[in-house]
Amino acid sequence: MSQQEDPNRMLRDAVTAFAARDTSITRVRQLRDTAPGFDKAVWKTIAELGWTGIMIPEEYGGMGLGLGEMAAVLEEFAKTLSPEPLNPSSVLAAGALLHGNNEALKKKLLPGIASGEILPALAWQETEGGIDPLAIATRAEGGALNGGKRFVFPADADGYLVSARSGNGPAVYWVDKGSAGLTVEYEPRADGTRCGRISLKNVKVIDAQLAASGKTAGAALQRAVDEATIMAGAELLGVMSRALEITLEYMRIRVQFGKPIGSFQALQHRAVDLFIQKELSFSVLRDALLQTAADASGLGLWASRVKSRCSEAGMRIGRESIQIHGGIGFADECDIGLYLKRAMVLSAWLGNGAVHRRRYAALAPAEAAA
Amino acid sequence: MQAQDWDKMDDEAFRLEVRGFFRKEYPEHLRFPAYHLRWADTKDWYKKLVDKGWAAPGWPKEWGGMGLSPGKLLIFIEEQERHGVARTPDMGIILLGPLLIKFATEEQKKQFLPPSLRGEYIWCQGYSEPNAGSDLASLKVEAVLDRDEYVINGSKTWTSYAMDATHMFILARTDKKAKKQEGISFLLVDMKTPGITVRPIRNLLGVEVFAEVFLDNVRTPAKWLVGKPNQGWTMAKALLGFERISIGSPKLAQTGLKRLDAIVRSQGLTQDPAFMDRYTQLRLDVADLASTYSRFADLLKRGETLGPDVSILKIVATETFQRLTELTLEAAGDAGAIGGKAAFRKDSVDILSPFYNARPATIYGGSNEIQRNILAKNVLDLPS
C-alpha cells in the first residue's frame, strides 16, 4: 500500500514506537508457558496508548473509532508477537458487551475496559468449539449458570462474558473472576499462551449482570465474533508479513554452493508465491474494511472471506519459512518458529480456513449463469 | 464529432454512457466469443467505433483518441469485458499507437496514426521468434542498413493476426556487437513487401489466430525506424505497465464461475462435500483476485503510477482462471472431453474453449515464470 493510501499512518507509527520501546522477542520468549502468559504492566501501557478503547465509543471512555483503525494497530502489534490479548479483550469481549442491551452494565464496565483496569474475556465456545455463537448448551435457569466453556482467552481475565441459553433465548452474563462455582482450568496453546476451560456450577447471577438478552444477545455475539474474526485477519497479516521479511532477509545472507540461497530460482519462485498469498490477504482485508465501513450488512461474509484467506496464507508462510530456513528453522532458538506458532494459534482461533470456507458457501450460495 | 472531455465526467456517468453504447450497438452474436475473432468478423463493429470516435480510447484527442486517463480507460475496458465485447485485431491501437505517440517523429505519427485509427492499417506484433521466447532479448532477426533502407532477415512467430495485418512492427537486431538488449531497433514493415511469407499456426482450439512470419531480404524504409537506432528494447519495455493491469482483470474468471455453477448444479455436485470445498476455495480465490484488482485499479483511478508489484495480478488472474477451467472439466465428468456446446441436464455449455484459452494466458506477455523472476528481483529484492 502506498503511504498516501494509508489514513492510519500515525496509529501505525505509534505501534512501531511501542515495538521499539516496550516489547522485544526476548520478552515474548520469557513469557512463554508462564501465568498469566502476558505482562500486566505492558497491558497498562497499551491502555495508556488508547488501543484498548479504540472501538469503544467516547461516551464510555473510548476513542470511538472503527475496524479500520483497530486493524492498523492490530496488524502492527501482531508483528511484535506480544502475547497481550488486545483483540480478544478489546474487540471480541468488549464488543459483546457494547453490542448488548444493558446500558447500566456498559456504563459500569466499558470505561474500565477502555482504561485497561478491567480485563474481560468472552466465554462463548463450548467443548467442541465451532463458530456458531448460538450453539450453546450452558443454561441460565433459576438465577444460576450451569455448564462449561472452552477456548477462553485470556484465561486469566478479571471477568467473563458468558453466553448461555435461558427461557428467553440466548443470553450473555458478566461473571466476575472468583465467583462461587466458577473454576478455570488451563490448556496450553502452541505459542506458549494458555486458554481457559471454564466450569460453571450453580454460579449465581442477577439481572444487573445480564449484558445482552434475547435476539439482541444472538446478534451481539455474532457481531462481536465477526468483528474479532476480521481483526484476527489483520493480526495474521502482521505475523505473515514479518515472517516473510525475516525469511527474505535470510535468503539474502545465507550462502550455500558459494551463493546466497535467495539467488536460486526454485526458492525465488517459492518466495514469490508466499508474497502473493500475503498480498491476497492484504487485498481482501482492505476490501473488507472499505466495504463493511460503507455497509455493515455483509459483515459475516466478509469475516469468512478474510479469515479463510489469512488463516491459510499465515499457516503457509509460517510452514514454508521453516523449510526455507532449513535445519535452523526447526531449532527453538531461531525466531521464525515463533511466527509459525502464532500463525497456528491465530489460524485455529475463531475458525480456521476450512471452517470459514464452509461458512462462506452457506452464506453465499453461488449464482448460476442467467 | 466534437471531441468530448471525458475526464471531466463523473466515473459512474461515464461507465453508464459506455455501457449504454455497447448495449445498443454491439452485435449480439459476437458477445463473449469463444476465441479471438478475425478482422472479417469484427470490422463492421470497428467501423461503428470509428464513427463514434471511440476506436482509440487511450490515445490523446489530438490523434483522434478519446483522451482517457488511465482510470477512465480502465472503466472503458471493464465495460467491454462486462458486455463480452470482442477484441478486434487491435495491436495497432493498444500497443503501437501509444509507442508512436511517445517516441515517433511528427512525420511518422502523421503517416501511421490516422490510417491505424480508421482501421485501414491493421498491425501485428513481431517480437517473439522461434528461438527467442521468454529470452526475448536473444532475438536474431537482423536488420542491416543499405543506403535508405533496412534489409531484414529471419523469422518471427506467435504473431497474432498476421494473416489479417497490413503492417507489422518488429524488434530487430541492428548492432550485433552490442550487448543483448542494446543492439535492438524498432521497425515498421509493410506486409505486402516482397520476401514476407505468413504461415498460419493452428492452435489447440483448432483455429488459426497466430502465425509464423518469415522475412527474406525484406526491405523497409530507413525512415520507418521508430525512436533511435538500438533503443527498441527500452521503448517496447516502457509501455508494458498498463498491459499488466488489464490482463489481471477478474471478469473472465467471474464469467467462468457462472458457467461452472450451471454445471455444478446440473451434475448434482452440491451434495459432494469434497468437491464443494475445492469449489468454494476457487470462488474465494476469484473474489480475492477481484479485491486485488480493485486495489490496483483504485491506484490508477487516483492517478498514481503502478509499481512492479502489479505483476502479481497477471499471475493470480491467469492461474486462477486456469484452475477454474480445470475444475470445470472435472465437474463435467464424462462430458469433460466433448467439444463445442456439451449438453448437460439443464444447459449446453462450451467447456473446452475456455480450458484451451486459459493455456496461453500464463505464457504470453512474459510467462508467469518470468513474472516471478521479475517479482523476486524487483520487489522482493532477492539476489541474482
A280 in reach of chain B (CB within 8 A): yes
Banded pLDDT at A4 (limits 50, 70, 90)? low
Beta bridge partners of A175: A160
Alpha helices in chain B, H assignment, sequence order: 11-25, 39-52, 70-83, 91, 97-103, 106-118, 232-238, 241-247, 251-266, 273-301, 311-332, 352-361, 368-374
CA gap A238, A339 in Å, rounded: 10
Banded pLDDT at B252 (limits 50, 70, 90)? confident
Banded pLDDT at B348 (limits 50, 70, 90)? confident
CB contact under 8 A, A283 and B288: yes
CA gap A39, A82 in Å, rounded: 9
CB contact under 8 A, B294 and A287: yes
Neighbours of B307 (CB within 10 A): 13
Banded pLDDT at A370 (limits 50, 70, 90)? very low
CB contact under 8 A, A287 and B380: no
- Report the mean per-residue pLDDT for chain B: 92
CA gap B371, B210 in Å, rounded: 23
Report which secondary-structure segment, H or E, holds A342.
helix A336-348
Nearest CA in chain A to B292: A283
Q: What is the pLDDT of residue B8?
A: 87
Which are the contacts of B374, defined by CB distance < 8 A and separation ≥ 6?
A: B308, B311, B366
Q: What is the pLDDT of residue A5?
A: 62
Q: Is the peptide bond before A36 cis (omega within 30 degrees of 0)?
A: yes
At A84 the three-state DSSP class reads: coil
The pLDDT of residue A104 is above 50: yes
CA gap B145, A246 in Å, rounded: 53
State pLDDT tens for residues A169-179. 999 999 999 99
CA gap B148, B138 in Å, rounded: 26
State pLDDT tens for residues B160-182. 999 999 999 999 999 999 998 89
B343 in reach of chain A (CB within 8 A): no
Q: What is the pLDDT of residue B246?
A: 77
Among A252, A269, A361, select the one facing B280 at the smallest CB separation.
Answer: A361
- Provide the grid cell at A128: 467442541
State pLDDT tens for residues B208-227. 989 999 999 999 999 999 99
Q: How far apart are the first and last CA of chain B?
A: 54
A283 in reach of chain B (CB within 8 A): yes
| B123-126 and A259-260 beta bridge pairing | unpaired
Q: What is the pLDDT of residue B300?
A: 86
Residue type, B371: Q
User: Phi first, then psi: what are they for B192, rounded to 5°?
Assistant: -85, -5
Which are the contacts of B299, defined by CB distance < 8 A and separation ≥ 6?
A: A2, A5, B306
Q: What is the pLDDT of residue A180?
A: 97
- What's the whole-number mean pLDDT along residues A62-87? 98
Q: Give the C-alpha distances (Å, rounded to integers) separating A241 from A75, A224, A232, B72.
A: 9, 26, 14, 33
Banded pLDDT at A220 (limits 50, 70, 90)? very high
CA gap A31, A338 in Å, rounded: 12
For residue B12, indicate whether it is catalytic: no
CB contact under 8 A, B383 and A259: yes
Q: Is the dihedral of CA B149, B153, B158, B162 positive or negative?
A: positive
- What's the whole-number mean pLDDT along residues A227-240? 98
Q: How far is CA A354 from the centre of its chain?
A: 18
CB contact under 8 A, B376 and A276: no
Closest C-alpha among B198, B184, B97, B205 to residue B136: B184
- What's the whole-number mean pLDDT along residues B259-281? 93
Q: What is the CATH number of domain B123-233?
A: 2.40.110.10
Name the one residue in this structure whose C-alpha cell is 485501414. B120
Q: How many CB pairs under 8 A join A and B?
A: 103
CB contact under 8 A, A272 and B291: no
The answer to whether the beta carbons of residues B79 and B22 sit under 8 Å apart is yes
| B348-350 and B341-343 beta bridge pairing | antiparallel
Among A279, A366, A368, select the one facing B283 at the smallest CB separation.
Answer: A366
- What's the whole-number mean pLDDT along residues A3-12? 78
A245 in reach of chain B (CB within 8 A): no
Q: What is the pLDDT of residue A369?
A: 43
CB contact under 8 A, B258 and A367: yes
- Strand extents, DSSP E, A92-206: 120-123, 139-141, 144-152, 159-166, 169-176, 182-188, 194-204
Q: What is the pLDDT of residue B105?
A: 97
A307 CB neighbours in chain B (<8 A) are none
Banded pLDDT at A367 (limits 50, 70, 90)? low
Vertex A207, ends A204 and A213: CA angle to 5°? Answer: 110
Report which secondary-structure segment, H or E, holds B151.
strand B149-160
Q: Which long-range contacts (CB under 8 A, 24 or more apart) does B307-312 make?
A: B307/B379, B308/B374, B308/B375, B308/B378, B308/B379, B309/A279, B309/B375, B309/B379, B310/B241, B310/B244, B310/B245, B310/B248, B311/B244, B311/B371, B311/B374, B311/B375, B311/B379, B312/A275, B312/A276, B312/A279, B312/B375
Report which secondary-structure segment, H or E, holds B210.
strand B208-221
- What's the whole-number mean pLDDT along residues A265-286? 98
- Report the mean per-residue pLDDT for chain A: 96
Neighbours of A27 (CB within 10 A): 15
State the fold for domain A120-216: Butyryl-CoA Dehydrogenase, subunit A; domain 2 (2.40.110)
Q: How far apart are the first and last CA of chain A?
A: 37
B281 CB neighbours in chain A (<8 A) are 357
User: Phi first, then psi: what are they for B243, rounded to 5°?
Assistant: -55, -40
Which residue in B25, B208, B243, B330 is the catalytic one? B243
CA gap A12, A6 in Å, rounded: 10
Of the segments A66-75, B201-210, B238-247, which one has the largest average pLDDT value?
A66-75
Closest C-alpha among A313, A241, A5, A306 to residue B306: A5
Which residue in A282, A283, A357 has the most chain B C-beta atoms within 10 A of its own C-beta, making it the best mutation to test that interface?
Answer: A283
The pLDDT of residue A368 is above 70: no
From A138's Cα to the closest Cα of chain B, the distance in A is 31
Q: What is the pLDDT of residue B242?
A: 66
Q: What's chain B's length in residues?
A: 384
State pLDDT tens for residues B304-315. 888 889 999 999
**Could you report the predicted ipTM of this complex, rounded to two decimals?**
0.94
State pLDDT tens for residues A313-358. 999 999 999 999 999 999 999 999 999 999 999 999 999 999 999 9
State the fold for domain A221-363: Butyryl-CoA Dehydrogenase, subunit A; domain 3 (1.20.140)
The answer to whether the beta carbons of residues B341 and B381 sit under 8 Å apart is no
| B241-379 belongs to CATH 1.20.140.10 | yes
Report domain extents, chain B. 6-88, 123-233, 241-379
Query: What is the CATH architecture of A3-115?
Result: Orthogonal Bundle (1.10)
The answer to whether the beta carbons of residues A110 and A56 sit under 8 Å apart is yes
Report domain extents, chain A. 3-115, 120-216, 221-363
The pLDDT of residue A246 is above 80: yes
Buried b (16+ CB within 10 A) or exposed e, B206-216: ebebbbbbbbe
DSSP string, A249-288: HHHHH-EETTEEGGG-HHHHHHHHHHHHHHHHHHHHHHHH
